[in-house]
């Protein structure tokens, strides 16, 4: 009795073996893919490690024996205190540890690449004392790409940031500059806080400690009397160095009020690269908006969790991950050539069987029993 080829046990077996073989070939065609800027990402991470070790070697002798015997002295020296006279806000210790991962700098290299930045470009950089790890990662990425930064810092820090009065972010910058790791430092600094002048949280003692930190590091203090005046002072300072529209990008790290204009703007502007700011009703305007009005791309690094998820970076992982490990450097994907060949072969087999059955049906319609054909 006639049975269509596609229902034949023999042919079903042959097709199954062929399809399984093609599937196995496709499944084992995984290749490791590295981004074009792989070496730049690796260079940035290695530079960040060098910077952190330099700060550890500088800071550790000044700390007590408990710190020197800590399980991870490097992390201990780069995390500040939960509270201090120059603490301006609350903060999450998980975020502060996450950005100490040297591979965080590789993610920033990618963001700067998305902003189409090239060797020799000048960028405006807005920092705070809250996330020294993210600041180091940014400096390392800038160095890897060969950019020229103009940096202004809000010195005050949230919990666990650079909030030790004798070891602020300005002190860290100076140490790294003197050791030749980074050839740039802040050109000016403010107190930070809810009004960029310390806010209600800072006492007069805290304000004086920040001014002393700026003085010992020979950094000009921006202290104009109000948040709006401090914002204008920043814009004018950037303009003295270069017209705003001549900057190739502005990089903002953290939630400095002068940079954002209002705390809520940190969330209204999603973490990432923006060639135009989202069209929303901003409660107030900061330095970022002034640059955006001139068509300058914005690189906004605010939500650490978003960065960690985007680049598959571990959250608050101790000990710190090794350099060069993770999908931010390389990932696996199927070889598209092999997968395409397998799909084509499967389709050819199915079409061939269908055509064979069609021919046999044709013979049957002509009165020929396909089972008698040899």
14 lies in some domain: no
Structure token pair of residue 196: 């960029």
373 lies in some domain: no
Q: Give the model's pLDDT for residue 25.
A: 78
Q: Give the list of residues 6+ apart from residue 17 with CB closer than 8 angstroms, or none.
A: none
Neighbouring CB atoms inside 10 A of 89's CB total 20
197 lies in some domain: yes
| C-alpha to C-alpha distance for 12 and 6, rounded to whole angstroms | 6
| Residues forming a β-bridge with 332 | 32
Q: Give the model's pLDDT for residue 2.
A: 45
Please measure the distance between the N-terminal and C-terminal CA atoms of the chain and give it in whole angstroms.
15
Q: Give the model's pLDDT for residue 1.
A: 45
| C-alpha to C-alpha distance for 104 and 120, rounded to whole angstroms | 23
Question: Among 280, 315, 66, 266, which Cα is nearest to 158's?
Answer: 266
The total number of residues shown for the chain amounts to 374
251 lies in some domain: yes
369 lies in some domain: no
Torsion angle of the four alpha carbons 330, 331, 333, 337, in this order, in degrees rounded to the nearest 10:
0
Number of domains in the chain: 1
Structure token pair of residue 28: 């084992």
Question: Among 46, 60, 148, 175, which Cα is nearest to 106's?
Answer: 46
256 lies in some domain: yes
Q: Give the model's pLDDT for residue 78.
A: 87
The model carries a pTM of 0.83
pLDDT in tens, the chain (374 residues): 445 555 567 777 877 888 888 888 777 767 778 899 999 999 999 999 999 999 999 988 877 655 655 666 677 788 888 889 999 999 999 999 999 999 999 999 999 999 999 999 999 999 999 999 999 999 999 999 999 999 999 999 999 999 999 999 999 999 999 999 999 999 999 999 989 998 888 999 999 999 999 999 999 999 998 999 999 999 999 999 999 999 999 999 999 999 999 999 999 999 999 999 999 999 999 999 999 999 999 999 999 999 999 999 999 988 899 999 889 998 777 778 888 888 888 888 878 777 776 665 554 555 555 555 54
| C-alpha to C-alpha distance for 229 and 257, rounded to whole angstroms | 12
Enclosing domain of residue 111: 38-310
Query: What is the overall mean pLDDT for the chain?
Result: 89
Structure token pair of residue 371: 């089972």
Structure token pair of residue 242: 């270069």
234 lies in some domain: yes
| C-alpha to C-alpha distance for 132 and 316, rounded to whole angstroms | 15
Q: Give the model's pLDDT for residue 357.
A: 67
Q: Give the model's pLDDT for residue 99.
A: 96
Structure token pair of residue 253: 């790290």
The β-bridge relationship of strands 122-128 and 220-222 is unpaired
230 lies in some domain: yes
């Amino acid at each position: 009795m006639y049975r269509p080829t596609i229902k034949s046990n023999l042919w079903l077996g042959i097709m199954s073996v062929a399809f399984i073989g093609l599937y196995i070939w496709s499944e084992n065609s995984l290749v490791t893919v590295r981004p074009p800027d792989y070496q730049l990402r690796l260079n940035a991470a290695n530079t960040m490690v060098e910077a952190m070790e330099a700060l550890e070697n500088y800071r550790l002798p000044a700390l007590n024996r408990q710190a020197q015997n800590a399980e991870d002295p490097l992390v201990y020296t780069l995390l500040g205190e939960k509270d201090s006279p120059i603490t301006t806000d609350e903060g999450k210790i998980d975020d502060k540890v996450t950005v100490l991962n040297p591979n965080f700098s590789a993610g920033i290299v990618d963001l700067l690449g998305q902003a189409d930045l090239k060797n020799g470009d000048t960028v405006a950089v807005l920092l705070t004392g809250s996330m020294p790890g993210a600041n180091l990662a940014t400096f390392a990425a800038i160095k890897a790409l060969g950019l020229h930064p103009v940096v202004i810092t809000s010195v005050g820090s949230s919990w666990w940031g650079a909030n030790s009065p004798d070891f602020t972010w300005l002190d860290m910058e100076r140490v790294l500059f003197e050791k030749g790791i980074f050839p740039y430092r802040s050109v000016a600094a403010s107190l930070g806080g809810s009004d960029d002048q310390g806010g209600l949280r800072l006492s007069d003692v805290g304000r004086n400690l920040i001014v002393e930190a700026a003085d010992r590091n020979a950094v000009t203090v921006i202290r104009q009397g109000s948040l709006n005046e401090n914002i204008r002072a920043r814009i004018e300072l950037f303009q003295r160095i270069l017209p705003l529209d001549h900057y190739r990008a502005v990089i903002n790290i953290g939630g400095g009020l002068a940079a954002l204009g209002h705390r809520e703007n940190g969330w209204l502007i999603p973490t990432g690269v923006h060639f135009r700011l989202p069209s929303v009703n901003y409660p107030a305007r900061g330095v970022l908006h002034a640059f955006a009005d001139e068509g300058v791309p914005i690189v906004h690094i605010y939500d650490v969790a978003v960065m960690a998820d985007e680049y598959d970076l571990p959250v608050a992982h101790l000990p710190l991950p090794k350099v060069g490990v993770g999908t931010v450097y390389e990932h696996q994907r199927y070889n598209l050539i092999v997968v395409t060949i397998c799909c084509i072969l499967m389709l050819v087999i199915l079409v061939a069987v269908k055509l064979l059955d069609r021919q046999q049906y044709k013979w049957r319609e002509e009165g020929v029993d396909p089972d008698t054909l040899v």
